[in-house]
Amino acid sequence: MPQSYSAARFEASTRASATVVHPPIVRLTHWLNAVAMIVMIMSGWQIHNAYPTLPFGFPDVLTIGSGLAGALQWHFAAMWLLAANGAVYLSYGVLTGRFRRKLLPIHPSAVLRDIRLALAGKLGHQDLSTYNAVQRLLYAGVIGASILIVVSGIAIWKPVQLRPLTTLLGDFDNARLVHFAAMTAIVLFLVVHVVMAMLVPSSLRAMLRGR
């Protein structure tokens, strides 16, 4: 006897829920990156307050570290975690082809289409294993911003020893501006990322459980 429609839907739902969306290494590196990046941002804001890049400061409640020395200690501690963990994440994404499958191709027309659907509340999120065009653009963009923030941070850290790199970014002050701009891009991504996780709770569960 053929299965009933409801039974077929139940089986399809069960298979979908069992699909591995994020393997363990992706989930682990994701959460370690999140912790490291938040610590670096908050300590970076304290560094900015002590030695301003631009003519404004951040509220103390959003910073980590007591003055410049304490903030630098937090910043460098998180930097090593971010660099090592980020290297694992990037290596896995490139060597396994995950980045190619998940993030490419990115077509401007598809991005504009999905933005219009998102603003209209019609952008679907049923298949969490496949990124829409906006997600592809945002995830590729934050990977680029993360690489830029590390490169500019190294140029700021060792401006004399790595003079060619600092010069490539303009000079020490320009390297700080590039570093700040990359940080701003990452913060904006985190805001959108958290909002989307709240709007689509299943995406958060997938990053916690993998399925």
Distance CA 132, CA 89 (A): 21
* Contact (CB, 8 A) for 150 and 86: yes
**55-97 confidence digits (pLDDT tens):** 999 999 999 998 899 999 999 999 999 989 999 999 999 999 9
Contacts of 115 (CB under 8 A, 6+ apart): 134
pLDDT number for residue 18: 54
Averaged pLDDT for residues 14-19: 51
CA distance 72 to 184: 19
Rounded distance between C-alpha atoms, residue 184 and residue 92, angstroms: 26
- Per-residue pLDDT at 9: 45
pLDDT of amino acid 211: 77
Helices (H), the chain: 5-17, 24-50, 67-95, 98-103, 108-119, 133-157, 163-168, 172-199, 201-209
Among the CATH numbers 1.10.3720.10, 3.90.1150.10, 3.40.50.720, 1.20.950.20, which is that of 26-54+64-209?
A: 1.20.950.20
Residue 141: predicted pLDDT: 95
| Nearest-angstrom CA–CA distance, 44 and 135 | 27
Helix axes 108-119, 133-157, angle to 10 degrees: 110
pTM for the whole structure: 0.84
pLDDT at position 104 over 80: yes
Q: What is the mean pLDDT of residues 115-126?
A: 81
Contact call for residues 169 and 24 (beta carbons, < 8 A): no
Q: How confident is the model at residue 5 (pLDDT cuts 50, 70, 90)?
A: very low
Separation of alpha carbons 30 and 160, rounded Å: 33
CA–CA dist 135, 141 (Å, integer): 10
Band of residue 6 on the pLDDT scale cut at 50, 70, 90: very low
